[in-house]
Structures are given as C-alpha cells and as structure tokens.
Chain A
Amino acid sequence: MNTGILTTKISWREIPQARLAIWALIAGEFVIFGGLIVMYILNRMKYESWGEMAEHTNVIAGTVNTLVLLTSSYFVVKAHEAAVKKNARAVKKWIWLTIMCALIFLGIKAYEYTHEIMMGYTMSSPALLEEGKHVETLYWSFYYTMTGLHGLHVIAGALALYFVMRNVTRTGENYHRIEVAGLYWHMVDIIWIFLFPLIYLIH
C-alpha cells in the first residue's frame, strides 16, 4: 500500500507531522541541555573556584563561534524563505553557507580543545588532582560534557541540512524538510546562546 510521505500529512491541531515531531524533539533537547545548564549554575554558585577555572577558557574563540552560529541561523532562515518559493538554487547556496559556518565552528572548537588539553585542563587532570583540586576538575567535566554534546548536535544538524538539501536539489520535491532541519539548527544556536556566557563570560 502506498502510504505517501508521512511527514507531509497534517497531524492533530492542523500541524504538519514533521514540524510537530521536530518541536517535540526540540522540547526534549531543551530539557537535556537545560538540566545541564541548571546543574552548572548551581555548582557555580556553590564553588567559587569555578570562576577561576572559567578564566582559562578562550573568550575570543567563544565570541567568534557565537558570531558564526548566529550568522548560520540567518542563513538557515534565508534557505527556508527560498524553500517556500521552491527555489532549489537559492536553497543550495544558503545551506552550503550554513554548513560552512558549522565547519568553522567545529574547527575553532577543536583548536580550543587542543589548547585546553595541552594546558592540562581535562576531566581528570592529574595536575589538578595532585593539588587536591577535585572541584576544579568537576568544572572541566561540565565544560567538556556541555560543549561536547553541543558539538555533536552541530555535526548532526549540519549532516541533516546537507542530506535534506541534496534531496531537494536532486528531486525538486520535499521543500518542507528544509524548514524542519532548519528548526533543529536554530535549536543548536539557542543552546549556544546560553552556553557561551555561562562558560566563557562569567568568571
């Protein structure tokens, strides 16, 4: 039986199923990252030494990355605008620009990680543990967990955008998927909007 493409059906309350599904996923992601952010804030209130550890993060790299992600969100909405007009050429252009932003973001993050690991700031830093600074290693555990999990979402978002864009440009159909993948990308941006000041700016 031909059931068609499920994601183009209208679901309960007149919302296309794909959009409803991605919003449910986004709500779940907000709880996951929000939980980490809440725990980070509470620990930050408890341990003053976390402020000293935050001084060792690369603020310039974090600032550039924030700028890159904000810009990528703008590119995604332009791709969505082009998708509504069914302009595959413009969709391709804006999505490639977004993917470029994702690669820049990941490159800068890799540079940061390399620098921090070389300086000895890891989840189980022997130098910190020898000095009895267990609380300080907890800061780096949170740092790598939150930014690492976010980085995985950046990779997933970029891959989703690439495959959706490839399908749209090859078939000339399924333009609505650009919006769905775009919503996921915006979620990645929103999470970074909160992670950036917490991790890099509040010392």
Chain B
Amino acid sequence: MNTQQTQGLEHEIRVPLENDYHGHPNYLKVYIILLILFALTVFASLIPNPLVVFAVVFGISIIKGTMVLLYFMHLKWEPNLIWIMLVLALLTLFFLLIGLYPDMVPVENYLVPKP
C-alpha cells in the first residue's frame, strides 16, 4: 500500500468525535445520587456490628462504583468487548479470593485428627 492510499484510509477511519457519541446522561443527577450514597456510607459506619458495617458499606461502594462506570465512564454504551475485559478482570479477583481464602482465614481441617 503506498503512502497516498494509506493516508486516504486514515482519513476514512478517523473518528468524528461529535458522531462517536450517543449523548450525555444527566451528570448532575448522577453526581447528586453519588453524594447521597456517600452520606449513607458514612452513616452506615456508625452501626456497632463490624460485620454489618462491612456488608452495608461495601454494598454501597459497589453501587457507587457501578454508577461511575456506567454513567461517568459511559460503559453503559460501550460495546461488549469492553465489558468482557472488565468481567475477566473481576473474575481474576474472584478466583484470587476463593483461592486464598483457606490459607488466610482459619478453617477447621476435618481430615487431620485432633490431638
């Protein structure tokens, strides 16, 4: 392929920025929801039981993170390839958690007789 042809091809495959988008969601609305969830996180930390605090606070964090991904990062409108990349990353973490859990958290070993 000569230089002229290459340049022509580049011109054709260039992305027109304003046509690349589906539009913008209402960012202010998303931001306000994130602030409300953030306030809920802080209040939830006042619950005396640490296990409940962990469940509630981490749950809210997952919702907040997902909202940023979907609306601020426009993941909602991205093709499947991007979703696959992120799901693979999360699966890696899931397997890491499952794989390391028995080593880190004491689990009673039923195969070894108690002294």
Give me the interface of A with B, judged by CB distance under 8 Å. 1-4, 8-10, 12-16, 20, 23-24, 26-28, 30-31, 34-35, 38-39, 41-43, 45-46, 51, 63, 66-67, 70-71, 73-74, 76-78, 80-81, 83-86, 175-176, 183, 186-187, 189-190, 193-194, 196-198, 201-203
Contacts and interface: CB of A to CB of B under 8 A. Distances in A.
A35 B93 contact: yes
A46 B105 contact: yes
Interface centre among A12, A45, A71 (most CB of B within 10 A): A45
23 contacts: A1-B3, A2-B7, A4-B14, A20-B81, A26-B86, A28-B89, A38-B100, A42-B104, A77-B24, A78-B27, A84-B24, A85-B18, A175-B17, A176-B17, A186-B68, A186-B72, A190-B68, A193-B64, A193-B68, A194-B58, A194-B61, A197-B61, A198-B58
A8 B38 CA distance: 36
B54 to A, nearest CB: 5
A70 B41 CA distance: 14
Interface residues of B, number: 54
B112 interface: no
A30 B18 contact: no
Contacts of A74: 27-28, 31, 72
Interface of B: 3, 6-7, 10, 13-15, 17-18, 20-21, 24, 27-28, 31, 34-35, 38, 41-42, 44-45, 50, 53-54, 57-58, 60-61, 64-65, 68-69, 72-73, 78-82, 85-86, 88-90, 92-93, 96-97, 100-101, 104-106
Nearest to A189: B68
Given A66-B38, A175-B17, A186-B72, A45 B104 contact: yes
Contacts of B45: 197, 201-202
A175 B15 CA distance: 11
B7 to A, nearest CB: 6
B62 to A, nearest CB: 8
A84 B88 CA distance: 30
Contact of B65 (A26, A84, A194, A203): A194
A50 B82 CA distance: 37
A198 B44 CA distance: 13
A39 B100 contact: yes
Contacts of B73: 183, 186-187
Contact of A38 (B14, B41, B58, B96): B96
Contact of A77 (B27, B53, B92): B27
Contacts of A43: 104
B61 A193 contact: yes
Given A15-B79, A74-B31, A201-B53, A38 B65 contact: no
